[in-house]
Amino acid sequence: MTEYPTALGASSLEKITLLGQDLAQDVMGKVSFGELAFWLATQRRPAPGETRVFEAVLAALADHGFTPTAIVTRLTYLSAPDSVQGALAAGLLGGGSRFLGVTEDCGRFLHEAVSTVEEPANWDEVALETVQARRAAGKFVPGLGHHVHKNGDPRTARLFEIAREEQQFGPHLALFEAIGRVHPQVLGKTLPLNGAGACGAALADLGLPLELLRGFALLARTAGLIGQLAEELRNPVANDIFLSVDLNNRPVPPAGGSHG
8 Å CB contact between 61 and 153 = no
- Which tens digit of pLDDT belongs to each residue from 210-255? 999 999 999 999 999 999 999 999 999 999 999 999 999 999 999 8
Q: Specify the pTM.
A: 0.93
Q: What is the pLDDT of residue 259?
A: 58
8 Å CB contact between 78 and 239 = yes
Is residue 127 a part of any domain in this protein? yes
Q: What is the pLDDT of residue 101?
A: 85
Cα gap 80→71, rounded to integer Å: 14
The secondary element (H helix, E strand) that includes residue 75 is: helix 68-79
Q: Is residue 257 predicted with pLDDT exceeding 90?
A: no
Mean pLDDT of 105-112: 97
Cα gap 42→112, rounded to integer Å: 21
Is residue 92 a part of any domain in this protein? no
Is residue 186 a part of any domain in this protein? yes
Q: Is residue 260 predicted with pLDDT exceeding 60?
A: no
- Which tens digit of pLDDT belongs to each residue from 131-183? 999 999 999 999 999 888 888 899 999 999 999 999 999 999 999 999 999 99
- H helical segments located in 98-253: 101-114, 123-136, 154-165, 171-187, 195-205, 213-234, 238-246
Its domain, for residue 193, covers 101-211
Is residue 5 a part of any domain in this protein? no
Q: Is residue 42 predicted with pLDDT exceeding 80?
A: yes
Is residue 95 a part of any domain in this protein? no
Is residue 121 a part of any domain in this protein? yes
- Which tens digit of pLDDT belongs to each residue from 49-79? 999 999 999 999 999 899 999 999 999 999 9
Mean pLDDT of the chain: 95
CATH number assigned to the domain comprising residue 174: 1.10.230.10
Is residue 197 a part of any domain in this protein? yes
Is residue 35 a part of any domain in this protein? no
The residues near 140 (Cβ < 8 Å, ≥ 6 apart) are 134
Nearest residue to 209 via CA among 85, 43, 64: 43
Mean pLDDT of 121-139: 96
Our count of domains for the chain comes to 1
